[in-house]
Each structure stands twice: as C-alpha cells, then as structure tokens.
Amino acid sequence: MAEQVLRITGGQPMQGEVTVQGAKNSALPMMAATILCKGQCVLHNVPRLTDVWAASRILNRLGCNCHMEGNTVTIDGGAAQSWEIPDSDMRQMRSSIMFLGPILGRTGACTLSLPGGCELGPRPIDLHLEAMRRMGAAVAEEGERIRCCAKELHGAKIHLPFPSVGVSENVIMAATLAKGETVLTNAAREPEIIDLAAFLNQCGAKIRGAGESTVVIQGVEKLYPTSYTVMPDRIAAVTWLCAAAASKGSICVRGARPSDMEACLSVLEQAGCRLGICPDRIFLEASRPLRAVPEIRTMPHPGFPTDGQAILMALLATAAGTSVFEETIFESRYMHAGELLRMGANIRIFGRTAIVRGVPRLHGAAVAAQDLRGGAALAAAAAGAEGETVLRGLSHIDRGYEDLAGVFNNLGCQVRRISF
C-alpha cells in the first residue's frame, strides 16, 4: 500500500473559522460503555477517526451491531454474544483496555490482550487489573493474554496511586452494574470523565462526584439505552489555536468549551496571543511577536494537559526567550523534538525536561510523526515555517483528527495529501 504524506506550505497567516470536532477521548469510552446497556444507544458528534473505526470493529466482533453514519454512531449493546477481543483488534488502539470494565461488568468474564496505539513509553495496565481484583474479579495473565472472571462484581473502596483517566473510566463503568457501592478516590478529574458519567447517568446509572477526586458509584440492576451528544474535543481546539498562532494568524474556534481549556489558554496568553473567550467559542489573534513561557509542567486536570505539550512546544519554538517544559505524565513524550530540530528549532532534552530556546523562524523539512500529538505539533509548526514541509506518519494523526488537511486548507494554509 502506498504511503501517504502531507505537503504543507507555510508562512501565510491562517485566518477564518473552524468548528471543533467531538472529543475522541470522550467518544471512545462511551462506545465501550454501551455494552452495559441492553438496547440501542445513539451517540452524536462522534469524530470520524481510525481509533473510532477500531472501537467499532471491536464492538461488531462482540456482536453489538455498531453502525456509523456521518458523526452519529448507533450501537446495540444488547446484541452482544462474545466476550473475547481478538489480539489484532486490541493492538489497533492504545485505549482498547477500556473495554475491560464494561465487558466484565456486563458478563462477569472477559478475555483480551495487551493494547496497542502510540508508543509513549511504559503504560502498564496493572492499575486496571488491580481495580478489577478489588471488585471481586479473578485475573490470570497468560503471556500477552489476560483472562478476567467474576461470578458477581461487588462494590469496593479503590484508591488510585495516580489519577489515571483510563483506570477511573474502567472502574466507573464496571461499578455501574456491580452489587453495592464503589468509592473511587484520587480519581481523574478530566472533563471526559464528567461526560462519561453524564452519559451513564442518563442510562440509569447512579454516579456522583465525577470531575472531583472522589467518585461514588451505586450499582444498579439495569441500564437503559439513550441518545447522547459527545462533548467537543479540547485538544483539537488547542491544535487549531496553536497552528493559527504559529502562522501569526487570527481564527475563531466554534463549539469549543473554554472552561475545559483554561491551562492551555493561559499559556497562549502568556505567549502573547490575544484571546477573546465566549462560552462556546474562542477568538485568537497572534500578529505580535511571541514570548517564551518560563515553565510549563504537565499535570492531571485541571493542570496543563500532557496532550497539549507537543503542540505548545511547536508554537514556542519561535518565541523570544527560553521556555522550559517538564513532562510528568508519560515517559518518551518528546519524540517530536528531534523532528522540530530538522525544521531549525533549538531544543535540548534532559530526561523529563525540555529546554526550548526560541529561533526567529522555522523552515520546511521532511519530518515524520511518531505519535498522535507529536504529529499535530509538526503540522502546526509547518503552518508557520518558511517553505514546504513533507510530513509522514499520517496514521498517527488520523487517530485523533478528522480532517487536519481540510481544516488547514479552509484556514488558508496550503496542504496536499498525496500518495507515493
């Protein structure tokens, strides 16, 4: 199969409007959660991404009759007949472990393998498995296969050593049909957790405290099908804002929720971008020279999101002064830095710290995305660079962005997606 690349011609200010897509990190766990409902659920505003196709394949393998038309997904969780996910499907997406909680909660048995997706260093699933054990599941690991079974899941008190989004989601989903009350402490507080809980509560679950560090789930006997609209993607919104800022442009991002993006918006303002913030849209104007931001430390929500780190680094590569990034969430999340060096950036990596000394301008180069957000960062950098950038590794970008090339073109940045 021929490889596809993006040929991005930068140097022109991006201008116009873009409507942000639905949140990938909200849609995917919701799709998994439909397994808990005996009936047909309809999800609206679902982004058309390769990770969504992968989740759809898994649901169809399980017999759930998943169908997508436009940005609407219809899933009949009650039709599920199998509880074993093939290795090939699990390896298509990093977050495929999210199926563990709902399958185990619905049937008391689940067989799956280690997940795939972006290579961001060690990402052990031990916390997921330990949480299921606390709720009464027996877990057996056979090489790269994992078998979980429980006659009946029961409520438990579960404290997470780290506020993992994925583990929090798995516990919440598994606990909705468990017997008794589950109390999850040090839970993740991300907006996507709130969205998942709102969906499940609309189905009849009893979840309170989502978005806070303690979440309480009272198990119910049954969940009912519903129709729900997925929240907007805050990281996609940040990507469009940063790309426009890198090109010294001005844009309006419609459908965004600024309240979910405060840490990123603060960095943009510190960098010298002018922002106009409304409840459902964000205006950005970046004609003035950018300023370095002395310290950016990734943290669980409401701190600065790790998914925004690469994208803001691409922007600050041309800011006057020195910006310092500290990555506290994932290891190996500076792979984009080496590619930015090809474009003329001045970046030095010391373990989890990246020191970015701003240069006057980046130039086009041949670069490769090695993970999802790193790929978006390179595209944003290319929008502001002189000349043409050839960006490979589009399979990573397609996991999280519906039509990056189309958005860029609509904003005035010339992008061609070609095969060779």
User: What is the model's pTM?
Assistant: 0.96
Res 122: pLDDT: 45
- Among 166, 193, 221, give the residue marking a domain's end: 221
Does residue 205 sit in the same domain as residue 314?
Answer: no
In a domain, 169, yes or no: yes
Residues 90 and 144 in one domain: yes
Give residue 34's pLDDT: 98
Number of neighbours of residue 222 by Cβ within 10 angstroms: 12
Mean pLDDT of 32-50: 97
What digits encode the pLDDT tens for the residues 338-353?
999 999 999 999 999 9
Residue 265 sits in the same domain as residue 413: yes
Identify whether residues 189 and 328 lie together within a single domain: no
Residues 114-142, mean pLDDT to the nearest whole number: 78
Give me the mean pLDDT over the 92-119 stretch.
82
Contact assessment for residue 119 and residue 370, using Cβ atoms and an 8 Å cutoff = yes
Average pLDDT along the chain: 95
Extract long-range pairs of 107-111: CB within 8 Å, 24+ residues apart: 107/83, 108/149, 108/150, 108/151, 108/152, 108/153, 109/83, 109/147, 109/148, 109/149, 109/150, 110/83, 110/84, 110/85, 110/147, 110/148, 110/149, 111/83, 111/84, 111/85, 111/145, 111/146, 111/147, 111/148
Confidence class of residue 95 from pLDDT cuts 50, 70 and 90?
confident
pLDDT, one tens digit per residue, over 186-222 is 999 999 999 999 999 999 999 999 999 999 999 999 9
Catalytic residue among 66, 118, 203, 273: 118
36, with CB counted inside 10 A (0-12, 13-18, 19+), is buried
Is the pLDDT at 224 greater than 60, yes or no? Answer: yes
Q: Please indicate whether residue 97 or residue 404 has the higher confidence score (pLDDT).
A: 404
Mean pLDDT calculated for residue range 138-144 = 86
**Is residue 243 located within the same domain as residue 295?**
yes
Query: Which residues does 141 contact at the CB level (< 8 Å), separation at least 6?
Result: 129, 147
- Which range, of 17-31, 49-63, 98-112, 123-137, averages the lowest pLDDT? 123-137
Mean pLDDT of 75-85: 88
Q: How confident is the model at residue 121 (pLDDT cuts 50, 70, 90)?
A: very low
Cα–Cα distances (Å) from 166 to 2, 302, 394, in that order, read 34, 16, 25
* Predicted pLDDT of residue 116: 55
- CA–centroid distance for 174 within its chain: 21
The CA distance from 183 to 66, in Å, is 32
Confidence band for 89, pLDDT divided at 50, 70 and 90: confident
Residue 12 in domain: yes
Q: Assign 4 a pLDDT band (cuts: 50, 70, 90).
A: very high
Question: How many domains are contained in the chain?
Answer: 2
Residues 89 and 113 in one domain: yes
- Provide the pLDDT for residue 144: 78
* Within-domain flag for 179: yes
Residues 237 and 214 in one domain: no
Neighbour count for residue 290 (Cβ, 10 Å):
24
Residue 25 near residue 408 (C-beta atoms within 8 A):
no
For residue 110, indicate whether it is catalytic. no
Q: For residue 239, give both structure tokens.
A: 């990507």
At residue 119, the pLDDT reads 47
Question: What's the CATH code of the domain at 213?
Answer: 3.65.10.10
271 in a structural domain: yes
Length of the chain: 420
Residue 118's domain comprises: 24-221
- 70, two tokens: 């436009």
Tens of pLDDT, residue by residue over 254-289, are 999 999 999 999 999 999 999 999 999 999 999 999
Lateral strand order in the sheet of 274-278: 15-19, 250-254, 281-285, 274-278
Q: Which of 175, 198, 221 is the last residue of a domain?
A: 221
- With cut-offs at 50, 70 and 90, classify the pLDDT of residue 412: very high
pLDDT at position 123 over 60: no
Pair 238, 261: CB distance under 8 Å: yes
- Of 74-83, 86-95, 231-240, the range with the highest mean pLDDT is 231-240
Q: What average pLDDT score do residues 59-83 get? A: 93
- CA 43 to chain CA centroid, nearest Å: 17
Shared domain for 325 and 338, answered yes or no, is: yes
Q: What SS3 class is residue 168? A: helix
